[in-house]
Amino acid sequence: MNTNLFQLRHIGPRDNEKDIMLKTIGVDSIDQLIYETIPDDIRLQNELDLPEALSEYEYLQHINELGAKNKIFKSYIGLGYHEAITPSVIQRNILENPGWYTAYTPYQAEIAQGRLEALLNYQTMVCDLTGMELANASLLDEGTAAAEAMALLFDVRERAKKKAGANKFFVSEEILPQTLSVLKTRAIPIGIELVIGNHEKFDFADDYFGAILQYPGKNGNVIDYSEFVSKANDNNIKVAVAADILSLAVLKAPGEFGVDVVVGTTQRFGIPLGYGGPHAGYFATKEAYKRSIPGRIIGVTKDKDGGPALRMALQTREQHIKRERATSNICTAQVLLAVMAGMYAVYHGKEGIQFIANRVHSASQTLAVALNRLGFKQKNTAYFDTILVEVEAEKLRSTAEANQINFNYVDKNHVAISLNETVGLKEINAIVDCFEQAFNIQDITITEFVSEDIIPENIKRNTSFLDHEVFNTYHSETDMMRYIKKLERKDLALNHSMISLGSCTMKLNAASEMLPLSNPQWGNIHPFVPLNQAEGYQTVLKNLEQQLNVVTGFAGTSLQPNSGAQGEFAGLMVIRAYHEANGDTHRNICLIPSSAHGTNPASAVMAGMKVVVTKTDEKGNIDVEDLRAKAELHKDNLAALMVTYPSTHGVFEKAIKEITSIIHDNGGQVYMDGANMNAQVGLTNPATIGADVCHLNLHKTFAIPHGGGGPGVGPICVAPQLVPFLPTNPVVTTGGENPITAISAAPWGSALACLISYGYITMLGADGLTNSTKIAILNANYMKERLQEHFQTLYTGEMGRAAHEMILDCREFKQNGIEVVDIAKRLMDYGFHAPTVSFPVAGTIMVEPTESESLSELDRFCDALISIRKEIDTVTKEDQNNVLKNAPHTLAMLTNDSWDFPYSRQEAAYPLEYIMDNKFWPSVRRVDDAYGDRNLICSCNPIEDYMEAEA
């Protein structure tokens, strides 16, 4: 056994177990199974052209050597990114803890109460600081949150505005440059006209529907927007504000101005810079817009016993249900980062946050006074943490960089300096020394902080925040550690058992892939530093792009999209730009099979395309003749086909090359959704099947952990003709020769998370990647065979094989009164998270075991499903008091003196023997979703609110 091979650790089944599995399936070898699963005409003929795999030890040496090439300067660039201190108790117990980072999106609330509470804390923090009524559980970054705000305000225009065709959106010239670029990307395809200017000169005309302001401005000036907002309200123009979250401990909450939406980033609440991400963007608005707010909202409800419980509220807003009627395609939040930011507020509390904010503000004043003594003029009339200094910028730059300091060089005569919570007198004196050295002037030393009253009374904060008990309890490390652990114990994650979610690929997130994320050589770099300060990052990102090119067979990659949904949008926008460059601006029809992911039609509409749905046949495959007919009907205007491969039904469709040829013959480009790439890597690829662009879910196939619903990374890989249009960034140039504007705020999106996928590919190498795919297919087909006598597999390939996932039909159980949700809840009693429920077919479960699960774990899961199947046979539609309808069963139920159920406690909690060894207890009984939506409470409200809701 070669213990240096990482694939030995990543892949679950041992060699002797593979033989057992192949025998169960009825094939002689894995190669025979692959032949019977994947059409021969799309199989790769050569091994992936990748360097030899590194061992875990070799990789960690390699990544540390690359990290040492990054130059860790003190960066005072600002522009929405600031060095922050991650409390060690949060780093060790959340960021580095698989109990938090390997959890899935909390769709199954009964086994996710811990992270749901952490997210409720986050929402409360955002509402308190912004002064708004409702916040979601995070978005991707500040730029995309601002774009979502614009889209929401466009969607909720009053009838008169819609009728008049009001489509202008005012953008203050104070907006962050990367935010403006993302706004441009999102505005163009849906017909919004951006007007950029000075808010003091805005004319409030009728053809405007909304406006966005920056608070404080991009170079630090703090502006009183109350008069602007008042006039906007009088003219039915809705206003969004992008606000620095820490400044709101000192400045008046935007909600007090009467604005409609407040957005921003919570990065400076304890999240590493990470060369741009991942960071949790925040989004807060009025309750009146609760049906239009993008992303996920955590709400309070009650469980079957009437006790308090948490769950994701208002889920019918999600794009999986609304599809092409959705105003957003957001399905990935930044949950892990939102949890950390919320815990930062819990740990520091109101007084701690005020202390940090006041210290940052005082440090900025101290620096301003010192520079004034040296003869440099500070231009901002009021500021929080950023001063704008009149100075010969290039002369200062060379000295500052020689002293390992970065500033924001606004123009040749102005430099902005943004301070943060790491700054003390030592750092202030180092900045002052740069000015002294650069201009050969007197030497002064700052010995104490200055704190003057420079913020006007009318924009000072005078309202309370973070008054809830949770923010005033856990301020010692002991208490904080125990609180985090208490929440962790309520959540089922991959560190407990297999999570067999179809389409979501919950595989091993190896420790060696994760370790570099805690290294400050990777965590502490601002995304806008000069490239020569990020040599290690640039090497990793370029190597990862090349690795993904090899895996997909394509010519170019952009790592900028920071979620799978953003990748979809980016891919379609690149196709749009390609058609426009060819003079085909009329091409706007996007064909989408009826079986497609819910984000596909939402993304197409966001990209300005018209969705035409094509049929599937009785076997669940794309109806080729219907597709051909619609492609030919729309050939003059055909822009793209969005296709998932293997299909969402878990099948390698044999006609895929014919399908892609039909699209090309009629002038369109083929977008392949990469959600199921785990069944392709090393065996086939998007280029071979005839696609032109695909996005890849690095949080699925390439091992970035789901983190409870984010971070995700969704890079796009493209054919040669699309390379020129890959997205850029306005501060650090990226992308092609004729790029589209930014998809997300940072040049390389969530660069820190990309280290994980780089490690995954580098340690597996060509052989390990290919074997991982083969074993994913082996595991799925083994489970299919074990379950076939008990559950019907809805769709299979021509030789009866599944790809890496399968759909199990549960609709026949309705005759017993059992719905698919009952099976999902009963699985919790067996210690498992449910597979994907009722997607893509209602009344089914979609199972994907991944390659990381061993035979023993696969068998445990199969045993659980078979046992549940037998339980279903014992109940009737008239008998609602049964073990499935009452699931899940909590410890409180089992230890209660009364037991009013027609089955035993053992049958409820320990239906199979293996459970005795490692019982996971759901912390609440089945939650009442409808009650939570009728009585929407989405923050840590006073107990009186709950009493009123109950009444």
Place of tokens 């469980």: 303
Q: Decide: helix, strand or coil at residue 862.
A: helix
| Residues of the chain scoring pLDDT < 70 | 316-327, 941-951
Listed in sequence order, the residues at least 6 apart from 196 whose beta carbon sits closer than 8 Å to its beta carbon are: 170, 171, 172, 173, 175, 180
Length of the chain: 951
Task: Write down the pLDDT at residue 942.
Answer: 55
Q: Decide: helix, strand or coil at residue 197.
A: strand
844 and 766 Cβ atoms separated by less than 8 Å: no
Q: Decide: helix, strand or coil at residue 455.
A: coil
716 and 567 Cβ atoms separated by less than 8 Å: yes
CB count in 10 Å sphere of residue 201:
7
Cα angle 16, 17, 20; round to 5: 100
Crossing angle for the helix pair 564-581 and 599-606, to the nearest 10 degrees:
40
CA nearest to 376, candidates 432, 452, 445, 448: 432
Q: What DSSP element (H or E) covers 214?
A: strand 208-215
Report how far apart, in Å, the C-alpha atoms of 447 and of each of 377, 419, 424, 450, 572 are. 21, 17, 10, 10, 56
Listed in sequence order, the residues at least 6 apart from 116 whose beta carbon sits closer than 8 Å to its beta carbon are: 106, 109, 298, 310, 311, 312
CA nearest to 564, candidates 704, 670, 760: 704
Q: Decide: helix, strand or coil at residue 883.
A: coil
CA nearest to 248, candidates 323, 337, 345: 345
CA nearest to 582, candidates 796, 738, 438: 738
Give dist(CA 737, CA 725) in Å, integer: 7
Q: Which amino acid is at 569?
A: F
Cα angle 744, 691, 501; round to 5: 65
Task: Write down the pLDDT at residue 946.
Answer: 41
Q: Where are the alpha helices (DSSP H) in 648-750?
A: 656-665, 686-689
Rg of the chain in Å (alpha carbons): 28
Report how far apart, in Å, the C-alpha atoms of 760 and of each of 701, 755, 756, 795, 902 are. 10, 9, 6, 31, 50
| Bridge-based pairing state of the strands 589-593 and 238-243 | unpaired
Task: Write down the pLDDT at residue 858.
Answer: 98
575 and 693 Cβ atoms separated by less than 8 Å: yes
Task: Write down the pLDDT at residue 947.
Answer: 39
Q: What's the predicted TM-score (pTM) here?
A: 0.97
Token pair belonging to 410: 């606004």
Q: What is the pLDDT of residues 60-116, one digit of tens each?
A: 999 999 999 999 999 999 999 999 999 999 999 999 999 999 999 999 999 999 999
Q: What does DSSP assign to residue 917?
A: G
Task: Write down the pLDDT at residue 319.
Answer: 52
Q: What does DSSP assign to residue 238?
A: E
CA nearest to 367, candidates 415, 438, 421, 431: 431
Task: Write down the pLDDT at residue 949.
Answer: 45
